[in-house]
Amino acid sequence: MNIGLATRMHTSFADAVARTRDALAEQGFGVLTEIDVKATLKAKLGEDIEDYLILGACNPPLAHRAINVDRQIGLLLPCNVVVRADLTDDKSVIIEAMNPQMLVDVTGEPQLEQLAEEARREHREGRTEALDPDAL
């Protein structure tokens, strides 16, 4: 199973981040955390990497339902979305979201299957304009 759902955009990193935030908001997700991996690795290790941002996103109704199925599910929340520069194409940015099926596979909890399918459907339907590379 693929751990991520991904799309590629031909735009600037800043625009990709803004459009990702907009797309998440349109799908009912709030961004609870933000980790600038590039800045952190530079500050802590003196290492340089490409633009790489992790957004911790949460959809409260889906999170609430998941927590009611398995209280330990919080260990897998919030769902991470990565926005990163494409190392193979300096004009592209890759946006990856955690595959919701991971919640089912990691926990083995069949009651999370419907929830994962809803989250996958929201991802597919919510990707229309904000993250659709053809809309650029």
pLDDT single digits (tens) 94-135? 999 988 888 888 889 888 888 888 877 766 665 544 454 443
Residue 46 confidence (pLDDT) = 98
Hey, which residues does 52 pair with through a beta bridge? 84
**How many domains in the chain?**
1
- The verdict on residue 114 lying in a domain is yes
Collapsing DSSP states into helix, strand and coil, what is residue 45?
helix
- The verdict on residue 134 lying in a domain is no
- The verdict on residue 130 lying in a domain is no
Residue 125 confidence (pLDDT) = 60
CB 102 within 8 A of CB 87: no
Residue scoring higher pLDDT (82 or 28): 82
CATH number at residue 36: 3.30.310.70
Domain extent, residue 57, equals 4-125
pTM for this structure?
Answer: 0.85
Residue 100 confidence (pLDDT) = 85
Residue 124 confidence (pLDDT) = 63
pLDDT digits (tens, 9 = 90+) for 20-63: 999 999 989 999 999 999 999 999 999 999 999 999 999 999 99
- Residue 73: how many other CB atoms lie within 10 Å: 19
- The verdict on residue 106 lying in a domain is yes
Q: What's at 128, amino acid-wise?
A: T
pLDDT level of residue 69 (50, 70, 90 thresholds): very high
Residue 63 confidence (pLDDT) = 92
